[in-house]
Amino acid sequence: MVSDFTGHMDDNNVFKQSFRLSAFDCTRYNVADLVWYLQIMQEIASTHSEFLDLGAAELNKKGLEWVILRNIIEVNRYAKWKEVVHLETWAHHKYKLFFPRTIVGYDDDGNKLFESTSFWAMLNRKRNFRPIPPKPYLDLYGYPSNEEDSKAPDYPAKISIDEDDKLITNRTVSSIYDDIDVNMHTNNISYVRWMMSLMDDEYRNTHKVQFIDTSWMQQTYTSDKNNVRNYSKTGSFDSSVFKFDIEKEDTEGNKTISSIAKMKWETSDKLL
């Protein structure tokens, strides 16, 4: 596949951009991790929007901002050092007040590395961060001609922590300066970093994330305390499926769940 590190839109309203895995983005095993996939997905979504004059800088002038509310990712393989990952992304027709987006990553041979479906909202800061109807903006992105690719994906049932989900561990974290993004709140990727940091080191030496479904419900700031918790049916790392939630506490002592996720892990050899 041809590498394009700046990005371009093809004739089918699919935006394409390539990324090379650098040494400073690799894990201790010289391969990509989930966070790097999230980072390049965030980058192509931003570049795609900027290409259409709907990037953060332009929206900020109008008192608007994009926020991601949910992201579902399935990983087939993690890239190795120096490998180029070719991303393709496109918009779907609206789902309620959501802006759905698909991102797919391929290797040089055209093999799929991962696929993501995310749901976004455009918020109006001048009206107490209310979401606004996305259709006029979605129409600017255009849609693929293939009906299956252009229609809105189904919004899955919400993740919940059930009675038989047993707590494994938890810790309290606060956002640092580098966690804050252009919208002046904690970047969504930081939430996933916090969740993954609860996993046992030995488990992470032999396993990688094969699937993750993450919901973001509340924005967090450097003034908030965040209680990050993980769960499994066994109450231990003797499992392949884990749930996570983050309970934020603001300066007035109010507690709310800001994010919740479900991850499925697979042995590393099956994802490399």
Give residue-wise pLDDT tens across range 103-159: 999 999 999 999 999 999 999 988 888 888 888 888 999 999 998 889 999 888 999
- Identify the pLDDT of residue 17: 98
User: Could you give the residue range(s) of every CATH 3.10.129.10 domain in the chain?
Assistant: 8-150, 166-270
- Identify the pLDDT of residue 2: 85
Strands 166-173 and 207-216, by their bridges, are unpaired
CATH topology of domain 8-150: Thiol Ester Dehydrase; Chain A (3.10.129)
| pLDDT of 162 strictly over 90 | yes
- Identify the pLDDT of residue 147: 86
pLDDT tens, position by position, 215-268: 999 999 999 999 999 999 999 999 999 999 999 999 999 999 999 999 999 999
**For range 75-88, the mean pLDDT:** 98
- Identify the pLDDT of residue 1: 86
- The DSSP annotation for the chain comes to ----SS-EE-TTS-EEEEEE--GGGS-TTSB--HHHHHHHHHHHHHHHHHHTT-SHHHHHHTTEEEEEEEEEEEES-PPBTT-EEEEEEEE---BTTBEEEEEEEE-TTS-EEEEEEEEEEEEEGGGTTEE---HHHHHHH---SSHHHHSPPP-PPPP---TTPEEEEEEEE---GGGB-TTSSB-HHHHHHHHHTTS-HHHHHHEEEEEEEEEE-S---TT-EEEEEEEESSSSSSSSEEEEEEEEE-TT--EEEEEEEEEEEEEGGG--
Question: In 3D, which of 92, 211, 103, 244 has the Cα closest to residue 155?
Answer: 92
Range scoring the smallest mean pLDDT among 22-31, 43-52, 177-186: 177-186
Range scoring the smallest mean pLDDT among 40-49, 127-136, 188-197, 241-250: 127-136
Measured CA to CA, the distance from residue 10 to residue 44 in angstroms comes to 14
Q: Retrieve residue 172's tokens.
A: 């309290």
- Identify the pLDDT of residue 232: 98
Output the average pLDDT for the chain: 95
Measured CA to CA, the distance from residue 121 to residue 131 in angstroms comes to 6
**For range 100-104, the mean pLDDT:** 97
pLDDT interval class at 182 (50, 70, 90): confident
For the domain 166-270, what is the CATH superfamily, name and number? Answer: Hotdog Thioesterase (3.10.129.10)
pLDDT tens, position by position, 58-69: 988 989 888 999
Measured CA to CA, the distance from residue 245 to residue 263 in angstroms comes to 11
Measured CA to CA, the distance from residue 140 to residue 14 in angstroms comes to 13
Percent of the chain scoring above 90 in pLDDT:
83
**For range 179-183, the mean pLDDT:** 90
Range scoring the smallest mean pLDDT among 5-14, 136-145, 171-180, 204-213: 136-145
pTM to 2 decimal places: 0.95
- Identify the pLDDT of residue 272: 95
Asked if residue 217 lies in contact with residue 188, where contact means CB atoms within 8 angstroms, the answer is: no
